[in-house]
Amino acid sequence: MKAFQSSDKIRLNANGRKLDAWLIYKCLACDKTWNRPLFERKNVRDIGPATLDALQSNDVKWIRAESFNLDALKRKSQRVDEFPEFEIAKEVLREAAGWTRLEIELMVPLPAGTRLDRLLASELKLSRTRLQTLHEKGLLRTNSDRTDILRRRIRTGIEVMVDLATVADRELSWGPLATGSPR
């Protein structure tokens, strides 16, 4: 079985007032194409104006988001490989004197297979066991009621709060990790 990757292109076919739409994927080995159906024989008036505009203009942002719609992709293919690579951008929204608490809000524009504990361990330079201990002691909290949130995939809207009040030299030790820049 060969791997296919989105070409960031769409194929449209109109038949009267009916429309077919496919995302075009290309084989990484031989350039063969696979057209993944988005919909077939759908009445044009049943398609939202924003979607119709994105389809007609080959809107790369819309296509990319739809290409990473893993649930839809899994319904149309036998196997979906997820890659662990992703880019992390850190932005300080507000910095309070004393660094007694670190608040992290995740913005994940495309689905990612990375678990929250793996992301935090990597970025905060802590073991996953240490993260779990902090979570159990209530020093690491999230906005989720799930007890297994650290083992769940990252997604937009997850908020993580780390209580640093008892950590010595917290601004020096946690500051660079949180901001991504040396202090």
- Residue among 157, 177, 175, 36 at smallest CA distance from 107: 157
Look at residue 105 and tell me whether its pLDDT is greater than 70.
yes
Domain limits, CATH 3.10.290, in the chain: 101-179
List 27's β-bridge partners, or say none.
Answer: 4
How does residue 94 score in pLDDT terms, banded at 50, 70 and 90? Answer: confident
Task: Report pLDDT digits (tens) over 70-91.
Answer: 666 666 666 656 555 667 777 7
Put the strands of the sheet holding 4-15 in their side by side order: 4-15, 18-27, 33-43
Which two three-digit tokens encode residue 24? 């075009």
Q: Which residues of 41-73 are buried (b: 16+ CB within 10 A; e: fewer)?
A: eeeeeebeeeebebbeeebeebbeebbeeeeeb
Rounded CA separation 39/175 (Å): 48
Q: Tens digit of pLDDT for each residue in 40-61?
A: 999 999 999 999 999 999 998 8
Q: For the chain, give the percent of residues with pLDDT over 70.
A: 84
The pLDDT score that the predictor gives to residue 170 is: 72
pLDDT in tens, 115-156: 899 999 988 888 999 899 999 999 999 999 888 999 998 888
CA distance 6 to 111: 15
- The CATH class that applies to domain 101-179 reads alpha beta
173 touches 158 (CB < 8 A) = no
Check whether 183 has a pLDDT greater than 80.
no
Q: Is-contact 84 114, C-beta < 8 A? A: yes
Q: What share of the chain is helix, strand, coil (3-state, %, to 5)?
A: 30, 25, 40
Q: What's the whole-number average pLDDT of the chain?
A: 83
| Exposure of 46 in the CB half-sphere (CA atoms within 13 A) | 9
Contacts of 19 (CB under 8 A, 6+ apart): 12, 13, 39, 41, 42, 43, 44, 47, 55
Q: Which of 79, 80, 103 is nearest to 92 (CA)?
A: 103
